[in-house]
Structure 1
């Protein structure tokens, strides 16, 4: 059997498999006005003195479609602002200290309003993981 024919036949099946997979973009959840932000990660010092990682998962909830589009377009700037704050906050945590979720949510909401230039997007704090 000719290898070229086998390879050509296999390659011709790829577009059919892709179109059968659904091709439509799937939203992760949270509703039409929800913008999910990728996890923000920073290093911390554990109780035993070794390095650990703090991960903050979050998103934005908007009721206005125009604000949602603005938040989606500003996602790289939002992530940079969030990462800078979480890294500075994690560096100031005492060894083995636990993060203050209320303080984090309040300050990250302030950064959201500042970065977007207006209020209207509600910052939602998902989880804070320490590993």
Structure 2
């Protein structure tokens, strides 16, 4: 897989004005479910889809965090349940590296890249939660009534 293709895709998403924040929120739940399935039960040939979904997930989490930092009341109120999760479901699975290598025909380097991408997902998630807690702390009446 060419890493430049993944980054081009991410660049497209960041620059795309057509995807609204509400779409981002609804997509994040669907992507998270798909990721949990693809990591726990990898299907032959779906390796690129897995990487692409993680990149999209990360981009969405970043965009939501930006709205939280801007104190967007609508976004903050709508993601309350989402950020109540300790971590996204797909990050709770301990992937079977042999199964992933076999299903995706990946090398050890590609598995390592996947692991780093998941670490980045966890970092972004923790950063979103930190900002959410910072913005809402002491302002619960304002945001949730």
TM-score by length of 2: 0.24
User: Higher strand fraction: Structure 1 or Structure 2?
Assistant: 1
Q: Which has the larger radius of gyration?
A: 1
More helix by percentage: 2
